[in-house]
Every structure is written in structure tokens, then in C-alpha cells.
């Protein structure tokens, strides 16, 4: 069968579930990963054949997509801040909103001279997307990353190696940590923040496949991680050190109140590309 013919079948099979545009994007992602071909190759060589064995692989992926398993998990990779990352069921798939958080931190460092060292801690690193992206873009940075999940840290370590950066990874339960044992210029975290009451807003492919440990908090204490991390930041940020958070879009006011009560200065709340309250910063 010509791969161009299979393309039409593949897109048609997924259009009712995902829409034609997303179904087509899935096809070209798989084409590049499994066939090592790009869209332009198909346009220039419309007669490329696909073998029966290759069709079996494509059909297997197609059936899993029908079950709403994320394409990133099926391919075992994704892109974040222009870098490649391995992903699997032990880590969240990095979101575009988190790229904005990384960009904000990098923006804050532009005024620093190149020789000026900066020490960064990423709490709840997951795939390592924040820590690795910061290490890649800040050659003067010493980057540390904490996660409670041993399996998540295995993935994060692979991603640091994949992107040729040095990150010190630490397996640690932040809720049971009294002191971090050293000072940092920047502490950043994208902790679990989705309340159980918001589960109905979460897409089925996320709810059924991504790790709940990294997603959800109890309704009666939605800020548990933020409070704990802010307490640690009070003890472990250097003079004029900065704390960055990705936050629940519905809890912007509560987060401002929390940091104000804890005497953080220069508190700033920012919206993401979708105009939701999504990230904030405070200084000690």
C-alpha cells in the first residue's frame, strides 16, 4: 500500500474523535518517528510504499489513539522549549504553559553578566523539563531538581543526558523536608494543583493515563505544596532570591494572599497564553 493512501485511512479513523487537524498532526508525528520521513518527503515522493509489517505497527498505534492514550506516551517523546524529552506514564507530559514559566525565569536572568553564577532548584521535577531547559539555556547555572518518585527521576536523568546538561537530582518528599540544607537564588515548582472537584474538567486522555500523584491535591487543602515550598524558600533562598510557581488558574487570589502572609515581596501574577492566571513570582 502507498503510504499516502494509508494516510487518508488513518486520518479518517481519528477525525471524529480528535478533529481532522489533530488527526493529521498525529500522522506526521508518527511518520517522522517510525518512518523517518517528513511531510515534504511525502509530497515529493507520493509513491512511497509501506510494508505489511509497518502497517501493523501503524495500526497498533492507531488503536491506542482510539483509546485516548496520549501520542507522546506512544512515541515515548515530546518537545519542550525547543528540546527533546523522553516521556512515559511515570511523568506528566510537559505543557506549553510551563514553557512560559521557563521563559519568565530566563527573562529575569538576561540582565546578569555571563560570569555571574546562579543556583537553581526545581521542586517536583517530573520529566525534568524545567530543570533541563534552564540548565541548557543558562550555562552559568548550577541546577538541582527534587522529586518524590524514583521512576520519574530515572526519566529526568535520561533527559539531562539526552540534552547534554548537568543537573543534580535528589529523591525527596518535599512535604517531609524541614530544610533544604543549602541556599538557592531561584526556587521553581510546578507542583500538583488540580483539586478533585476539578476532575470533570480534565480530559479523559490525561485522567486515564498521566500520574495522579503529580496532578491532584485534596479539595480541603489545595495549597499544601505551595505553603510548604514557600516555607522552605523563606529558609533557603539567598538574599533577593526569587520563588516561581505554576499555579491553579482558579486560585490566583489565594496564592497572592499566601505569599503576602508569608512576607514575600514584589509578588507578581501572570496569565498564560490562554489568559488564565497561571504563574507567579515572589522575592524574599
Q: What is the pLDDT of residues 204-257, one digit of tens each?
A: 778 888 788 788 888 888 899 999 999 999 999 999 899 999 999 999 999 999
Residues 31, 34, 35, 41: is their CA dihedral positive or negative?
A: positive
77 belongs to a structural domain: no
Q: What pLDDT does residue 43 have?
A: 87
Q: Return the C-alpha cell found at 252.
A: 490566583
72 belongs to a structural domain: no
- Give the pLDDT band of residue 192 (cuts 50, 70, 90): confident
Same domain? 245 vs 107: yes
Q: Return the C-alpha cell found at 104.
A: 519568565
Same domain? 158 vs 241: yes
Same domain? 38 vs 128: no
Average pLDDT over residues 46-51: 89
Same domain? 23 vs 109: no
Same domain? 62 vs 92: no
- Partner residues linked to 85 by β-bridges: 78
Q: What pLDDT does residue 113 have?
A: 63
For residue 214, give the nearest of 120, 279, 128 by alpha carbon.
Answer: 128
Same domain? 110 vs 62: no
Percent of the chain with pLDDT over 70: 99
- Domains identified in the chain, total number: 2
Residue 243, domain CATH: 3.40.50.150
Mean pLDDT of the chain: 93
Q: For residues 42-53, b (16+ Cβ closer than 10 Å) or e, as one string?
A: beeeeeeebeee
Same domain? 103 vs 18: no
76 belongs to a structural domain: no
- Give the pLDDT band of residue 199 (cuts 50, 70, 90): confident
- Give the pLDDT band of residue 46 (cuts 50, 70, 90): confident
Same domain? 121 vs 257: yes
**CB atoms inside a 10 Å sphere around CB 107:** 9
Same domain? 33 vs 137: no
Show the domain range for 188. Answer: 88-283
Q: Is the pLDDT of residue 105 over 90?
A: yes
Same domain? 128 vs 258: yes
Same domain? 42 vs 181: no
Amino acid at each position: 500500500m502507498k503510504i499516502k493512501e494509508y494516510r487518508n485511512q488513518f486520518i479518517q479513523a481519528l477525525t471524529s474523535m480528535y478533529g481532522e487537524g489533530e488527526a493529521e498532526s498525529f500522522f506526521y508525528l508518527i511518520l517522522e518517528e517510525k518512518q523517518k520521513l517528513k511531510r515534504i518527503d511525502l509530497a515529493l515522493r507520493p509513491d512511497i510504499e509501506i510494508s505489511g509489517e509497518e502497517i501493523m505497527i501503524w495500526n497498533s498505534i492507531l488503536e491506542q489513539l482510539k483509546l485516548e492514550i496520549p501520542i507522546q506516551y506512544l512515541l515515548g517523546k515530546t518537545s519542550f522549549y525547543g528540546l527533546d524529552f523522553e516521556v512515559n506514564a511515570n511523568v506528566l507530559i510537559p505543557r506549553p504553559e510551563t514553557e512560559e514559566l521557563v521563559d519568565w525565569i530566563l527573562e529575569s536572568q538576561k540582565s546578569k553578566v555571563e560570569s555571574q553564577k546562579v543556583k537553581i532548584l526545581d521542586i517536583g521535577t517530573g520529566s525534568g523539563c524545567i530543570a533541563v531547559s534552564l540548565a541548557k539555556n543558562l550555562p552559568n547555572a548550577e541546577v538541582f531538581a527534587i522529586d518524590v518518585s524514583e521512576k520519574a527521576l530515572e526519566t529526568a536523568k535520561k533527559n539531562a543526558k539526552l540534552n547534554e546538561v548537568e543537573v543534580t537530582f535528589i529523591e525527596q518528599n518535599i512535604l517531609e523536608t524541614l530544610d533544604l540544607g543549602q541556599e538557592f537564588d531561584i526556587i521553581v515548582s510546578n507542583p500538583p494543583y488540580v483539586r478533585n472537584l476539578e476532575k470533570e474538567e480534565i480530559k479523559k486522555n490525561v485522567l486515564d493515563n498521566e500520574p495522579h500523584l503529580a496532578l491532584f491535591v485534596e479539595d480541603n487543602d489545595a495549597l499544601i505544596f505551595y505553603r510548604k515550598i514557600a516555607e522552605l524558600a523563606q529558609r533557603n533562598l539567598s538574599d533577593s532570591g526569587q520563588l516561581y510557581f505554576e499555579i491553579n488558574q482558579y486560585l490566583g487570589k489565594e496564592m497572592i494572599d499566601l505569599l503576602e502572609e508569608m512576607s514575600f515581596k514584589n509578588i507578581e501574577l501572570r496569565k498564560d497564553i490562554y489568559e488564565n492566571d497561571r504563574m507567579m513570582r515572589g522575592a524574599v
